[in-house]
Amino acid sequence: MKDSQINMLEHSEVKVKLLGLYMERYLNILYLSKYIETVILFDLFCGEGIYENGGKGSPIIMLESINNLEVDNSNKSGFEIHFNDIDLPKVNKLQNEITNRDLVSKKITGLYYTNNDYQKMLPYVVSMFTGFSKRRGFIFIDPYGYKEIRLSHIKELLRPGTTEVLLFLPTHFMFRFEEKGTPQSLKEFISELIPESQWPKSETGIEFIDRLKNAFKKKLGNDKLVDTFIISRDKNQFFCLFFFTSHIYGFDRMLDAKWKLDEEQGRGFAFKSNGDLFSVVEKSANTFPLEKGLKEFLKTPKTNGEVYEFALHLGYLPTHTNQILKSFQDTGNLEIKSNGDKIQKGAFYVNYKNYKNNFDKITINFK
């Protein structure tokens, strides 16, 4: 058995840190929504929950995130959670760990343990959301490698339109195999994304990840949002989390979690040489790509909703966008027209609330 399956290694710690931050930012919103009755979480390769070196795995992070919610909505059905792993002893250990830690709060209305093959679970997962508009789902897939994973699986899981998927891929090993001679399992994975004859060799691990991301985007279509979080362990050794959603606010909240871990780029995490995994240094966001992109994008007038979408697709948050728009306005380079009410200086309405309710409240143009 690999050491990474027994002890929590650094990249796994970052992985569950991002998972926890995302859930912290998004679960409250789902739980309070009057349009959602039940939130269903799946961890399809759940493992034992606690590593031998004491590290907390994804099941424990999920449960703690729910228990830490500050709200209680008695009108909701609550959270339903499914932990699955093909290894029955791991599932049994997880169940004992959860019981011993008393992690099942009243917000959790259903907790299920299964030890099925991942692929056999997929039809069941999809059936839980098909035809149920008031359910929302989050599926975490952290496989023991990548041989089990296919694009068709992600596409099927997203099909109901009410689910989000967070997938971890050992892209370092995939890239290394691509360099040295592609094994059959990687050929099968790639061939679903792009014909093997059209797949150019990647020069770096980052380039390999970017190609995977772009291929996922192209294959899944414009109504699906795809993002990545890159974990750098050593020189040119990159692992990656891929996030898939149909819902722009889920995408917004994942970006917010990413920027919490990477205050400069919102793109990934590199380990510090001093061994302090989450050492905090005052940093400022590198928003130059967004500034450059907005100047070009706003050459023709755009609504506040269009600007919100554009910035998210570039990987930036509304706070970054509003700061840049204010700097444009302060230098006299911004023209704003209202579609009704008088607009206060410095108000750009670039956020999810206005995207949903006032998509075209104003038009913005870079002069």
Question: In this structure, what CATH number is given to the domain that contains residue 128?
Answer: 3.40.50.150
Above pLDDT 90, what percent of the chain? 51
The string of pLDDT tens digits covering residues 164-217 is 999 998 887 777 665 555 667 777 777 888 877 777 677 888 888 888 898 899
**Co-location of 80 and 190 in the same domain:** yes
Packing angle of the helix pair 10-32, 58-67 (nearest 10 deg): 30
The residue out of 270, 305, 322 marking a domain boundary is 270
Above pLDDT 70, what percent of the chain? 87
Name the token pair of 309. Answer: 């979408």
**Residue 359: domain span:** 288-366
Give dist(CA 257, CA 18) in Å, integer.
6
The residue out of 212, 240, 270 marking a domain boundary is 270
Tell me if 178 is assigned to some domain: yes
- The count of structural domains within the chain is 2
Give dist(CA 43, CA 59) in Å, integer.
7
Residue found under tokens 């309405």? 349
Contacting residues for 348 by C-beta, under 8 A, at least 6 apart = 304, 307, 321, 322, 325, 326, 336, 362, 364
Whether the CB-CB separation of 320 and 290 falls below 8 Å is answered with: yes
The residue out of 241, 270, 299 marking a domain boundary is 270
pLDDT at site 222:
87
The string of pLDDT tens digits covering residues 98-131 is 999 999 988 899 999 999 999 999 999 999 999 8
Using the predicted structure, report yes or no on whether residue 354 has a pLDDT greater than 90.
yes
Tell me if 343 is assigned to some domain: yes
User: What residue type is assigned to position 254 of the chain?
Assistant: M
**Co-location of 153 and 46 in the same domain:** yes
Using the predicted structure, report yes or no on whether residue 157 has a pLDDT greater than 80.
yes
Tell me if 281 is assigned to some domain: no
In this predicted structure, which of 20-34, 80-94, 194-208 has the lowest mean pLDDT? 194-208
**Co-location of 209 and 318 in the same domain:** no
**Co-location of 303 and 248 in the same domain:** no
**Co-location of 264 and 294 in the same domain:** no
